[in-house]
Amino acid sequence: MSRPNILLIHSDQHRYDCLGVTGHPILKTPHLDRLAAEGMIFTHAFCPIPLCIPVRNSLLHGRWATQHLSIANWDTEAPRPPREGLPTFSQALRDAGYFLGYVGKWHVHPEKDARAYGFHEYVPEETYDEWRTAAGYPPRPRTNGWFGEIDPHIPPEASRLAWGADHTIRLLEACAASGAPFFIRWDPSEPHLPNVVPEPYGSMYPPAEIPPWPSFPDPLIGKPYIQAQQRRTWKVDGWTWDDWAPVVSRYLGEITLMDAQIGRVLDALDRLGLAENTLVIYTTDHGDLCGGHGMIDKHFIMYDDVVRVPLIMRWPGHIVPGSRCDAFVAHSIDLATTFCEVARVSVPETFQGLSLLPLMAGEPDNGRQDIFATYHGNQFGLYSQRMVRDRRWKYVWNATAEDELYDLESDPGELHNLAADPAYRDELARLRRRLVAWMEETGDPLLNSWIRVQLLEGLKA
């Protein structure tokens, strides 16, 4: 039996709640909804760290950021590449005879590109601008900074998303002709801000019709100082939903444009006769605030707006169409392990994730009762955070600020920090013990003698 093909579409900053299939009231994503209807949606997938470069290293190396050590983006005090010599799923697949192709955003190592990690062909996203100029189109406008705008110069088929889909389809066509098993990965930067969107997508969602996020009306009472400071730094403190809605409108429009291009890729799989033997995965690196909690981007917080991610898989004959999995998934590190098992190659001993194959086959549970995430700071300074979240509760340990505790059952928007309320002392202690156990299990270097005592003896305010 031939080895299965794998197609990974891995976007940037796509909120879990921004899909038709996850219940957004007005957003149209028919092709991703189709992928879910023909496969499985994971409702409790979370990123191990809500930051581009660290999470992409977690996906490649199958390890938590505290272990591969690429803990921040390059615009920070700690711009370190991953540890040398760590195995990757990509090299394991190449060694097994897979063709590996990569299109789009890399963001793994400052000096080594995808070819250094086993990919045969790499199409950097930066070359889109060269293509655009050669095609006679003016540069992408950037008059509204990070808040986005309409791109009046191009039709949708000349967008960066369409360009990325074109290259992905080209690689699929080449693989169909060669007959070799393949792993093809398309990493669009979208819908990461700024959303510079051509028509008709730029005006597809009138701002007046967009409802606020459940997390929007947040007074930030009893929460770490850095959250209010982020509003001030971005100059969005005092913004109303009327101010945010145009930004969200373009974000939603770019998601629908991306969905249309994903539809083209899925159609190509069908046309080339590849769909039946190809595992297709759609996910993202992490989410986006985009006005949630009155903030933008993703830094210094562990809200579900950024740590919960979409994860959809389709694999004919292996996944029951229209299925749903509610198990906790650490998406990047679990995917690394899963890719090796799907390709029938040995999983490197250094990998820390769980295989998703049992869940894909219909097992209801993977043994996880909770999920974790880490953060270490970025362009506004270093800032250590650890999160543990179960079905009802979320605890965020902030090393140098107030802790956070949220009852997700009564407060799904995470508006009310209960960490200082004596009525929840026992719950707080339970979650701190659980966090210590996880830090021990994963070899978190921050679990030193001082932090251990602080957490276990309740010495944290």
Percent of the chain surpassing pLDDT 90: 97
Whether residue 259 contacts residue 409, with contact meaning beta carbons closer than 8 Å, is answered with no
Residue 1's pLDDT is what?
Answer: 56
Chain segment 413-452, per-residue pLDDT in tens: 999 999 999 999 999 999 999 999 999 999 999 999 999 9
- Asked whether residue 390 falls in the same domain as residue 250, the answer is no
Tokens of 400: 């140098």
* Separation between Cα atoms, residue 53 and residue 74, nearest integer Å: 8
Domain end position, chosen among 343, 366, 389: 366
* Separation between Cα atoms, residue 398 and residue 376, nearest integer Å: 10
- Asked whether residue 222 falls in the same domain as residue 340, the answer is yes
Q: Where are the beta strands (DSSP E) in 359-445?
A: 371-378, 381-389, 393-398, 404-407
Which residue matches tokens 């690689």?
Answer: 171
* Separation between Cα atoms, residue 369 and residue 391, nearest integer Å: 8
- Asked whether residue 319 falls in the same domain as residue 345, the answer is yes
Confidence of residue 461 (pLDDT cuts 50, 70, 90): confident
- Asked whether residue 260 falls in the same domain as residue 405, the answer is no
Show the CA angle centred on residue 22, arms to residues 385 and 336, nearest 5°. Answer: 55
Chain segment 369-382, per-residue pLDDT in tens: 999 999 999 988 99
DSSP class of residue 137? P
- Asked whether residue 358 falls in the same domain as residue 381, the answer is no
pLDDT at 78 over 80: no
Chain segment 7-43, per-residue pLDDT in tens: 999 999 999 999 999 999 999 999 999 999 999 999 9
Tokens of 93: 């697949």
- Asked whether residue 330 falls in the same domain as residue 197, the answer is yes
* Separation between Cα atoms, residue 50 and residue 422, nearest integer Å: 30
Rg of the chain (C-alpha set): 21
* Separation between Cα atoms, residue 411 and residue 417, nearest integer Å: 10
Q: Going by DSSP bridges, is the β-strand pair 393-398/381-389 parallel, antiparallel, or unpaired?
A: antiparallel
Domain at 158, CATH number? 3.40.720.10
Residue 10's pLDDT is what?
Answer: 98
Tokens of 127: 């070359």
Residue 228 located in a structural domain: yes
- The closest alpha carbon to 387, from 16, 49, 14, belongs to 49
- Asked whether residue 248 falls in the same domain as residue 382, the answer is no
pLDDT at 405 over 80: yes
* Separation between Cα atoms, residue 183 and residue 337, nearest integer Å: 14
- Asked whether residue 183 falls in the same domain as residue 284, the answer is yes
pLDDT at 186 over 70: yes
- The closest alpha carbon to 98, from 107, 86, 89, 108, belongs to 89
CA dist 307 to 132, 300, 348, Å? 34, 12, 26
Residue 217 located in a structural domain: yes
Whether residue 250 contacts residue 197, with contact meaning beta carbons closer than 8 Å, is answered with yes
Helices (H), 200-280: 225-234, 241-271
